[in-house]
Structure 1
């Protein structure tokens, strides 16, 4: 595939700002002379992590957490922002301790994903977390998160669960299943 030259950025302006988000307008000029205005969330410079914790018994641990976007409780994997100075691995272990009360001595990186590259630049590193040990840290959640155990062997049923609909969690689960299927084939 030929490498395309990105469009030239003619200007960037902040068009809206809230306590959490800034929206930018970008005036662009493409190599064919076409000019367009795009909008995006302003880059924050902070990336995130999501972990698929797997117990020694072969269960995955999910959290049920309120999601303001859907105005409902959603089922997904522990996740959070990487703090300044942290590596993705350090953030993963910290977030596990804050959200489910476990750390992990074995993190397997799966993939770095972007939620919606047309609008966001932040990246999320997906991990499998194994060799869990009990340790709790205080998190920033407004209420305790409900932890849900689900047998990894019944992942197909989880994929059909109405409350398990977040794309990054589905991606993490599918990559986890692929990882273990690949491992079983190589043995």
Structure 2
């Protein structure tokens, strides 16, 4: 097995500039020099560093709460866990409880951070905290969704059937499901 050098120097950034921008994204070009003298130009999505949360809500010991919402990227309705950005001044757990209320109509008395994941770290500087939510009770906050989200109760024992669905495909949702199952087994 190959050793990993934890002290390896990061490439030096000689210049950075925004090369494209929309209402949602900024593309940044980086001129880099690596420790071996090689130079390259990389492009990445410039992140806002706010972070995001994805919540695995457990209605009871056996039942998860999922939402079904429109996904513009695939122009389809997708089944997944509630998620959203962390607002300025919020912690990940505060954002998780707010998003849970906005998207699923529940609040949680018990919130636990399971893991932090990133999406395509070669191109994005964005992280998402996966949160387990338990001891739920009905509570709704107004969100920013353009239409009411469908709330679906799903038995965790039927996770294989969930994974077989064509509308449960987001990698972060699948990772959250496996992290939640592992965490629940350890409790």
TM-score (norm 1): 0.95
CA RMSD, Structure 1 to Structure 2 (Å): 0.9
Q: 1:23 aligns with which of 21, 27, 32?
A: 27
Which residues of 2 match residues 134-149 of structure 1 at below 5 A? Answer: 134-149=138-153
Which residues of 2 match residues 80-159 of structure 1 at below 5 A? Answer: 80-159=84-163
Segments of 5+ residues of structure 1 without an aligned counterpart are none
Partner SS, residue 173 of structure 2? helix
TM-score (norm 2): 0.95
The alpha-carbon deviation at position 57 of structure 1 amounts to: 5.6
Q: Deviations over 1:1-54 (max 9, x none)?
A: 212111000110100000111000001000111111100011212100000001
Q: 2:72 aligns with which of 68, 72, 76?
A: 68
Q: 1:175 aligns with which of 166, 176, 179?
A: 179
Alignment partner of 1:58 is 2:56: no
Alignment partner of 1:39 is 2:25: no
Segments of 5+ residues of structure 2 without an aligned counterpart are none
